[in-house]
Chains A and B, each alone.
Chain A
Amino acid sequence: MLVSIYRYNPETDSKPSMQEFEVALPEGKDLMVLDVLALVKEQDSSVAYRRSCREGVCGSDGMNINGTNGLACITPLSAVGGSANKLVLRPLPGLPVIRDLVVDMSIFYQQFEKVKPYLINNTPAPAIERLQSPEDRAKLDGLYECILCACCSTNCPSFWWNPDKFIGPAGLLQAYRFLADSRDTATADRLADLDDPFSVFRCRGIMNCVAVCPKGLNPTRAIGHIRSMLISQGT
């Protein structure tokens, strides 16, 4: 199989380039993209990428696979779109490249930090724990599972154009995770922080985030819920 990989070392290269590798695949096995990268690394150990858990839990190996963002470790070659005999790997779009497939995710984390992704509760802490009904707990399903791999935000044009102002789908999913939490008491303050022309409202609902989320989450729906909460509070 022909594997084309984005190569860029800012310290030595004047501009990025694509390097092609011919990789022999084992017969009768549907390898994951990450396995193919390991085979490439056997040929050229200088190819740089992030990986850790190799089972879709840590979110390290988010990358652009034949034009679509995804986690290399849980994307089998059979599920990769585009040309069947060629694998094109690029870094997540829109973020500065540190080297090859490794991107600088600082701005992504800054947007995450902005939504105060932690429980805020000003009432005195109970002796054991803050209880939550099963119904209220169920509201967090589909929100808490995010692993911050950045596949969604870096597939979002609004995030490409304004990564410093638009929180992006990943951050907004977490914003709603705490807005929806029955134990959180900062709902009004959280909503007030989001009511500007960029943070939430740059979402134009194209649903790229939903299409690429490796965990099958739906940030667009969460953004819709935030908008509904803003409307009921602000009108």
Chain B
Amino acid sequence: MDMVTSATSLSRSGLSDWIIQRFSALILAAYSLCILASFLTTPEMGYAEWRALFDSNLMRIFSIFTLFALCGHAWVGMWTVGTDYLTERQLGGGATAIRLVYQAICVLLIAVYLLWGISIFWGS
């Protein structure tokens, strides 16, 4: 059987990508519930309370961990969307160039958000 290969998927393996997508989804869900719970348990959520929540190292680590999960999740998803719709079958001859530009923009955005996010969570 001719292996279907791909140089741009996150892990090159369908199984690894699938596990990363599922596992990161769990982390994102847990983090969302955590934030929701802090809203529900803090009746007067203002800047000071919000700030105090993210002052703990535990919350910072959880946030950055979630940020990594979000970035992995986003790349698996965006890569899948791009390889579904931005193909020669859909767009004709120029599809590969369009797909590469799309993938480059996605990677760039994800990298910027990741670094920006880390600096927010770990900064002052």
Contacts and interface: CB of A to CB of B under 8 A. Distances in A.
Most chain A CB inside 10 Å of its own CB: which residue of B6, B18, B85: B18
B19 A235 contact: yes
A198 B6 contact: yes
Nearest to A115: B1
B83 A231 contact: no
Most chain B CB inside 10 Å of its own CB: which residue of A115, A161, A193, A199: A161
A20 B87 CA distance: 35
Interface string B3-45: 1111001001111111100000000000000000000000000
Nearest to B8: A197
B1 A193 contact: yes
Contacts of A116: 1
Interface string A206-219: 00000000000000
Give the interface size class of chain A.
20 to 34
Contacts of A230: 14-15
A197 B20 CA distance: 12
Contact of A197 (B1, B9, B19): B9
For the complex, would chain B's binding face be called helix, strand, loop or mixed by DSSP majority?
A: helix
A155 B12 CA distance: 27
Contacts of A231: 15, 19
Contacts of A199: 4, 14
Nearest to A190: B1
A114 B80 CA distance: 22
B3 A227 contact: no
Most chain A CB inside 10 Å of its own CB: which residue of B1, B9, B17, B85: B1
A158 B13 contact: no
Interface of A: 114-116, 158, 161-163, 165, 193-202, 227, 230-231, 234-235
Given A161-B85, A202-B84, A230-B14, 8 more contacts: A162-B89, A193-B3, A197-B13, A197-B17, A199-B4, A200-B14, A227-B15, A230-B15
15 contacts: A114-B1, A115-B1, A161-B84, A162-B89, A163-B89, A196-B13, A197-B9, A197-B14, A197-B80, A198-B4, A198-B14, A201-B17, A231-B19, A234-B15, A235-B15
